[in-house]
Structure formats: structure tokens, C-alpha cells
Amino acid sequence: MALLVSKTQSGREYKVKDLSLADFGRLEIDLAEVEMPGLISCRTEFGPTQPLAGAKITGSLHMTIQTAVLIETLTALGAQIRWCSCNIFSTQDHAAAAIARDSAAVFAWKGETLEEYWWCTEKALNWGPDGGPDLIIDDGGDATLLVHEGVKAEEEYERSGKVPDPNETDNVEFKVVLGIIRDGLVGDPRKYRRMKERLVGVSEETTTGVKRLYQMMTNGTLLFPAININDSVTKSKFDNLYGCRHSLPDGLMRATDVMIAGKIAVVCGYGDVGKGCAAALKRAGARVIVTEADPICALQALMEGIQVLTLEDVISEADIFVTATGNKNIIMVPHMKKMKNNAIVCNIGHFDNEIDMQGLEAYPGIKRVTIKPQTDRWIFPETQNGIIVLAEGRLINLGCATGHPSFVMSCSFTNQVIAQIELWKERNTGRYEKKVYVLPKHLDEKVAALHLEKLGAKLTKLTLAQAAYINVPAEGPYKPPTYRY
């Protein structure tokens, strides 16, 4: 298969499924803008001063309609953009088409192979001989990973002449990463180091990517500053919680049309994402059971009337299984073998290693029947029982539905815009070291404030006396950094 880059009449590169979907994409982008007051406010407030002028931004983040509004907000603030998705199934092809035609270089389509996925990531990072990117917007850290692994390989190559060997890893996806670095290494053995030197910083979207960043910071291997968007309250307590509460049932319904009421649903992990999933399933009439390792989160589940058990306890009686741990190896083949016929198995954690898809594929005699894209029935030879695995173990809400709705993504993405402006503004001041930062509380509160009017809310204003009494500025921030909401 040849992966060929197309160009628009203006010469901008892209590779998308079908550019003719651009009109449809544009219509939905128009609708989404009405639902994304934070981003539109950014255009109004910051547009005139063009705070991102000159910035070349690479984004690796689900190429959806909502992301299109983010991209066009960044371009409205002066940035140039190259974009790819951070998940093989999460692109909405009409969104990609509209952006490719109208606004930015895009390399993304729904249903990429792993090779295609990393090809797209490389294309989004590769700004050509003039260099770039200046900034990365990352979701899960794959663009950041590629730069870091690329630099590592280049340094090793310079040192020892050794190129990466994909056979040295068992991890199917990491083989592809090493391959793509190897293939470009000899031709341009400084590419990733040029990126690293230019890079002002990254703003990272999600729990999993943030975890990677903190590990690199701890190990001293982080190559550029990072702003942790995920831990803005208006991100992790909104997108993760309310977003999943919306999009998990959406994905389940679109993929399977199954009646949730009356069913037994197991949610693995009761963090923000798991809380959203459990709430959605409970409200839809399921009996929810949670698995947890953390006793505090477990006790929270119990206080909501949700039973806390181990996966083994319920494996053969539950109807729906959702992984939301951010950890790996949660639902393994021996679990899946014990499930009821037509049990539904899906993942809403960032990576697809919560469900042992490799083990399932390798199971002797297993039969895969694709009901429709992203909905597969895997039939075990011994029992002829099938289990229904959604989105091949990847994010169900993006693989089987359209991800989170615009309004909540407006909160998350407004944090992104603010972080990008901040990094770019301070690019020469040394304010940000090679560390991981969170946005200050008053910006977090500002993001929330931008979303209130759309919902008809009216805030109470503190009097000066009241503000003094609780020892906060009258205009906020209203809470200490440790406040948990």
C-alpha cells in the first residue's frame, strides 16, 4: 500500500479518507461552534492580538468535529497547524476533510493500520526543511514519544552506528515505532534532534500521557517543557467524568443496540472516567459492579450503592464489561473464556492494552465475525460462545460513536489554547524548564466561567467582606490548589 500525500490548491498537504466530505464536515463544525463557547471566546478575546503568530503547532489528538473547532481557533490566533489523530479509529472523516480543505494539514482517517497511524504521526511532526514544530498538542503522548524515541535512536546511531531493531520488542505497536524511526534514520540522522531543539513545549491532554511525562521528568529524560492539561479541574473533572458519562452509552448503543436496563455491567476502575461510566450505566438501569485497587475510590463506589468486587467474582454473570483503569492487562483471555454468550467487552481507557486483544487473536481456533466495523463477535471453539468486542479494544466512545460532545470538549480545549498561548508567550523567558506544569487556578476558573452563560447560569459575587472572611480575592481564585471539587 502506498501512502501518498495530497495537496490542496494552496499547496497544503493532507491525507484524508475523502475530501468530498468537507461540506458535511463544515456543517457539523458550524453546529459545534455554538456548543463550544470557550473556544469561540478565545477567538474573540485573543484573535485581535494574534498571540500564536509564527507558531508551528503539531497536534496528535482525535481528529473529530470538536478538534476541528480547536484547530480553527488556533489558526484564528495566528498558528500554523499539522495534525494527526491519536487513535486509529477516532477520526471523523468529514471533520478531517473540512480541516484539510479549509484550515490545516491533516493526516488522519478512521480505521488506520498501525503502520498508517505512525506514518501520520511522523507526517504531522515533519514540517520539512524549515523545521518545526514549535509546539505540540498531545493526547496520550504519541507525538512526544516519537520525538523522544527518535532522539534516543539518533544519539545511539551517532554513538554506535546501531539502528533500531523492531524485533527487539514484543510490543506490536512499538515495533512499528522503531521501524518508522529506523527507516528515516540513515537519510536524516538529526531530524528528531532538530525538532527537540526547536520545541518550546507540549501541552498534554490525558491521564495516560501525563503519567508518561511525569515519569520522564522523574527520570530526567524529558526533552522540553510540558503543560499538563489533564489535571486542570475543567479537564479531568469534566471531560473525563461528564464526557464519558455521555459517550460510553452512546458508543454501546451505536455498536450493539443492546438494552442497558436490567443488565449487569462491570466497570473496571473508578477514577474520573470510571465514575462517569458507572453513573451512566446505573442511570440507564443497569446493575453496576466496580473493580478497584484503590480503597478510597472503592469506598466512593460503595457510597453510591455500587458493589465492589473482583473481576473473577462476576466474570460469568455480567453482561457488559468496560475497562477504565489506565492500567494494562485488565481483561485477559481466561476472563473472556468464562463470559456469558454475547457478553459485551469494551475499553474506554486511553490505550488498548486494558483488554488482551493480542491474546484473543492468538487463541487457537477462535473465530472472529465482524458484525459491522468496530463490532466483532469472537467465538471460542470449545463453547461456541461468542463475546462481542467493541472498537478492537480501543476507545469505544471514539471507535463506536463520535467521542465526547462539543460542550465538554470546549472546556478541555480551551485549556489547550490557553496552555499553547502561555508556552509560546514565554518561549524566550526561561519561565518553563524541562518539567511538567499545571495551569494556575485562576485560568482554570476562567475556563469554567466561559461556559456558564451558554447554560443560563448566574454567578453570585462575593462582597469584599466575604472574600476577606474566607481569605480569597473577590474575583478569585476561590480555592486552594489542593481543593478536590
Task: In angstroms, give the least distance from the CB of 80 to a copy of itself.
Answer: 28
DSSP codes of every residue in 99-130: HHHHTSEEE--TT--HHHHHHHHHHHH---TT
**Phi, psi (degrees; rounded to nearest 5) at 24:** -60, -45
Per the annotation, the verdict on 329 as an active-site residue is no
Q: Of 228, 230, 406, 410, which is the active-site residue?
A: 230
Per-residue x/- mask for a copy of itself, residues 9 to 38, rule CB under 8 A? ---------------x--xx--xx-xx---
**How far is residue 385's CA from residue 365's CA, in Å, rounded to a whole number?**
13
Per the annotation, the verdict on 171 as an active-site residue is no
Q: Of 66, 85, 232, 406, which is the active-site residue?
A: 85
Which of 12, 15, 43, 254 binds a copy of itself (CB under 8 A)? It is 254
**How far is residue 348's CA from residue 417's CA, in Å, rounded to a whole number?**
25
Find the part of the chain contacting a copy of itself (CB under 8 A) among 177-185, 188-196, 260-268, 416-424. 260-268
**According to the annotation, is 305 in a ligand binding site?**
no
Q: Where are the beta strands (DSSP E) in 110-198?
A: 135-138
- 317 vs 433 by CB, closer to a copy of itself: 317
Q: Of 94, 148, 404, 446, which is the active-site residue?
A: 404
The residue among 259, 257, 158, 273 whose CA lies nearest residue 208 is: 273
- 80 vs 406 by CB, closer to a copy of itself: 406
**According to the annotation, is 128 in a ligand binding site?**
no
**According to the annotation, is 275 in a ligand binding site?**
yes
Task: In angstroms, give the least distance from the CB of 121 to a copy of itself.
Answer: 22
Find the part of the chain contacting a copy of itself (CB under 8 A) among 71-79, 153-161, 195-203, 477-485. 477-485
Q: How many residues bind a copy of itself (CB under 8 A)?
A: 112
**8-17: b or e for each residue (b if 16 or more CB lie within 10 Å)?**
eeeebbbbbb
Do the beta carbons of residue 279 and residue 267 sit within 8 Å? no
**According to the annotation, is 201 in a ligand binding site?**
no
Region 446-475 residues binding a copy of itself, contact defined as CB under 8 A: 446, 448-449, 451-452, 455-463, 465-466, 469-471
Per the annotation, the verdict on 412 as an active-site residue is yes
Do the beta carbons of residue 61 and residue 142 sit within 8 Å? no
Which of 62, 82, 123, 246 binds a copy of itself (CB under 8 A)? It is 246
Find the part of the chain contacting a copy of itself (CB under 8 A) among 148-156, 158-166, 167-175, 277-285. 277-285
Query: What angle do the packed helices 65-76 and 22-35 form, to 10 degrees?
Result: 80
**How far is residue 366's CA from residue 360's CA, in Å, rounded to a whole number?**
8
Task: In angstroms, give the least distance from the CB of 430 to a copy of itself.
Answer: 25
Per-residue x/- mask for a copy of itself, residues 222 to 241, rule CB under 8 A? ---------x-xx-xxx---
With a CB cutoff of 8 Å and minimum separation 6, the contacts of 291 are 266, 267, 268, 269, 308, 309, 310, 311
**According to the annotation, is 64 in a ligand binding site?**
yes
Task: In angstroms, give the least distance from the CB of 482 to a copy of itself.
Answer: 6
Region 406-445 residues binding a copy of itself, contact defined as CB under 8 A: 406-408, 411, 438, 444-445
**According to the annotation, is 397 in a ligand binding site?**
yes
Per the annotation, the verdict on 250 as an active-site residue is no
Q: Count other Cβ atoms within 10 Å, centred on residue 301.
A: 21
Give the bridge partners for 369, in sequence order.
377
The residue among 85, 55, 217, 222 whose CA lies nearest residue 151 is: 222
Q: Of 244, 268, 297, 346, which is the active-site residue?
A: 244
Region 107-166 residues binding a copy of itself, contact defined as CB under 8 A: none
**According to the annotation, is 49 in a ligand binding site?**
no
Question: Is 307 buried (19+), middle (13-18) or exposed (0-12) by CB count in 10 A?
Answer: middle
Question: Is 209 buried (19+), middle (13-18) or exposed (0-12) by CB count in 10 A?
Answer: buried
Region 354-393 residues binding a copy of itself, contact defined as CB under 8 A: 369, 371-372, 377, 388
Task: In angstroms, give the least distance from the CB of 130 to a copy of itself.
Answer: 37
Q: If binding is defined by CB under 8 A, does position 285 make contact with a copy of itself?
A: yes
Bond before 334 cis per omega within 30 degrees? no
Per the annotation, the verdict on 350 as an active-site residue is yes
Region 338-357 residues binding a copy of itself, contact defined as CB under 8 A: 341-342
Handedness of CA 352, 138, 415, 69 (dihedral sign): negative
With a CB cutoff of 8 Å and minimum separation 6, the contacts of 30 are none
**How far is residue 114's CA from residue 142's CA, in Å, rounded to a whole number?**
12
Residues making up the annotated binding site are 64, 139, 205-208, 235, 239, 271-276, 292, 348-350, 397, 404
What residues are labeled active site?
62, 85, 90, 139, 205, 230, 235, 239-240, 244, 350, 404, 412, 416
